[in-house]
Amino acid sequence: MPSRMNVESFNLDHRMVAAPYVRVADRKTLPGGDTLVKYDVRFTQPNLAHLPTEVIHSIEHLVAEHMRNHTDRLIDFSPMGCRTGFYALMLEVEPDEFEQLLETTLRDVLQATEVPAANEVQCGWGVHHTLEGAQDAVREFLDARGEWSQVFGEHA
């Protein structure tokens, strides 16, 4: 294994995880004392599956908008470049609270009738969305709710 890298996820053996899961990827205490918690919200098994670009783009819009209806402590919700999941950056939100917030938000996504800001005025690729695809992926992720805290597979 290479020496320790600066990016936390580069130090994670992606062969050992068992998606779907939610894990704390990083935690930083700021100079003023606030704590930022970065969550790895993994939808698909790394190196075996990924979300289509339109799906991940739409989930990003839906969750970034809808989660803010439930909290003012979401700093950012962004897709992973590998398209296997998302990072959620939260202010002072611990895992049990985050998982409940995520579940509530994803249930909102299932009820959505449109992808927020899916137009060329508000988005850099406004036609590149699929509500149905996003809802299918979210439904599958929610169906595995009982597995979210199980990050590593049996072979780990």
Domain that holds residue 65: 17-145
**What is the count of structural domains for the chain?**
1
Residue 10 lies in a domain: no
pLDDT by residue (tens digit) across 13-63? 999 999 999 999 999 999 999 999 999 999 999 999 999 999 999 999 999
Residue 11 lies in a domain: no
Residue 3 lies in a domain: no
Q: Report how far residue 109's alpha carbon sits from residue 142's, in angstroms, rounded to the nearest whole number.
A: 11
pLDDT by residue (tens digit) across 63-115? 999 999 999 999 999 999 999 999 999 999 999 999 999 999 999 999 999 99
Q: What is the CATH number of the domain that holds 64?
A: 3.30.1360.80
Amino acid, single-letter form, for residue 147: E
Give 13's contacts (C-beta < 8 A, 6+ positions apart).
1
